[in-house]
Amino acid sequence: MITVETVEQCNDFKRNNLHDTINDEESKQSKKKFKGQNHNRRNKMFKARKQREMNQMKMCKQYCREGTCTYGSNCTFSHDLDKFIETERKPDIADQCYNYATFGKCNYGLLCRFGNSHLKDGRINLIDNDKCVQSNIESNSRNQISKEIQMSLRKKQYDFKRANTISDLIHSNKLSIEDAKKEGRSVPLKKKLNFDNKLYLAPLTTVGNLPFRRICKEFGADITCGEMALCQSILEGSQSEWALLRRHHTEDFFGVQICGASPQQLSRVAQLITEQCDVDFIDLNMGCPIDLIYRKGAGSALMERKKKLDEIIYSMTSVADVPLTLKMRTGVYQNRNIAHSVISTVREWTNDRIGLITLHGRSREQRYTKLADWHYINECVNELNNASIDSKPIPLFGSGDVMSHEEYYERMESSGVNGIMIARGALIKPWLFTEIKERRTWDISASERMDILKKFVNYGLENWGSDTDGVEKTRRFLLEWISFLYRYIPVGLLERLPQRINERPPRYIGRNDLETLFSSPSCKDWITISEMFLGKVPDEFSFIPKHKANAY
């Protein structure tokens, strides 16, 4: 629980030391400058975590929660509560467990890091039946894979008859793509979607997790989309990949984004998602710039494979009962835009197959080092509108560099897009959606920003768990988000409005110590912020942000 005393701990930080990593010139010269993604961070971060997990007792979660175990003496996990309490159980982080206070029960029992609020005699897990009837933590999220489906995928026993029929038709060369483009879809749409003028939160790898999307929904985002999920891992029944498809019940306009290279693989995933998940649309990733994805012919590589793209569109829309949407870049290389050419191919399909095209105004080669090309986005809008097979053309959304309501409405008017997808702008200031809808600039206070982080932590503990693993996972994703949040400059400190996404601010002192702390680019200070909610980090803890970008 955040108290005045907790916040006042920020006063211990001397203002001239908050930015020590910037001020220390010797450190600047001796340390290599990070650019883009930190590719080697996984080994550094997860080595410490794995070492911690190896040294921990492997307790049975069911026994810690219910006092009984389905497997009895055959259980491979420990049931020795006395030893766990004596040697392993750490002091509680806070007095109240969010899950117990909200839902009337905590699924982690003795393992919960906030357990004293729902443990009788220090070990018996209590349940508030009245709250359990009113709210159920399990019903809040959907699209969780069942054990039966997971095993059938792993044993390659899932029935992909519909997808295989389409794949066989393509491989037999009996299918004329030109004729197929003139036909409507064979599987009717479950419901028609209207994307026009909706605020679309981009699918954001790592940081676009379910707790973050809930925050953005509360601030006014209309459309949300899950993080990019790899087709191969979905078909293998990977638990971590299926977690990317989860949907919170508050996400009323929700899609999943998948990444793959072959029509057969993508059609199987489309069938699987249609049959096992509750989604409103499926988004095909055609913009991922990562080398590993690109070399396999997926992501932005699909922009150069038009014939394969046509086969993918036909395959996926022949088995799915929800619209297919496409997210792409301007092209692969910096000075060679090809999105208009891809759009001229895509527009030949009827709009009951393609629900939306989203165009990010940068190429794969550019990444984030240049401003988004909204002039080119406007050219693509004209290309799409001038010649479409339907009287109503496929809607097109633009994306790139929108961080204020002024920029949003200026881009909407000048480019002619049907809407805008917001990515980094939402990471830096998730209240941007409120600013856009209310057409105002919000001078949000440091205490209000602290409340947002507290809410994210609570949602994280609900989503990932309140045991040690869940706490540390929540901490990790909180830190990943703070690596973007610190870039926000308080409105009251700006000489001119609005703040631009590509402008790196000079060092500054906030209006109070907490605001100054929030502006720190130092990982140590981010960890300090996380400790205000999640307690002290383990001794072996290590965090390296996924993006230490020179593009800011």
Nearest to 467 by CA among 52, 177, 188: 52
Nearest to 536 by CA among 95, 91, 114, 98: 91
Beta bridge partners of 224: 254
Helix axes 210-219, 446-464, angle to 10 degrees: 140
The residue written with tokens 């022949």 in the block is: 318
Q: Beta strands of 109-208 (E only): which ranges?
A: 119-120, 124-125, 141-142, 199-201
Asked if 97 is an active-site residue, the reply is no
Query: d(Cα 261, Cα 70) in Å, to the nearest integer?
Result: 42
Query: d(Cα 104, Cα 134) in Å, to the nearest integer?
Result: 9
Instruction: Name the 3-class secondary structure at 327.
Output: strand
Q: Which of 10, 216, 225, 288 is catalytic?
A: 288
The two structure tokens encoding residue 444? 């949000």
* Residue 509 CA: distances (Å) to CA of 7, 161, 167, 445, 518: 17, 63, 61, 14, 10
The answer to whether the CB of 292 falls within 8 A of the CB of 299 is: no
Q: Beta strands of 66-221 (E only): which ranges?
A: 119-120, 124-125, 141-142, 199-201
307 burial type by CB count under 10 A (0-12 exposed, 13-18 middle, 19+ buried)? exposed
The DSSP secondary structure of 180-191, one letter per residue, reads: HHHSPPSS--SS
Helix axes 405-415, 374-386, angle to 10 degrees: 40
Helix axes 468-485, 523-534, angle to 10 degrees: 140
Residues labelled catalytic:
288
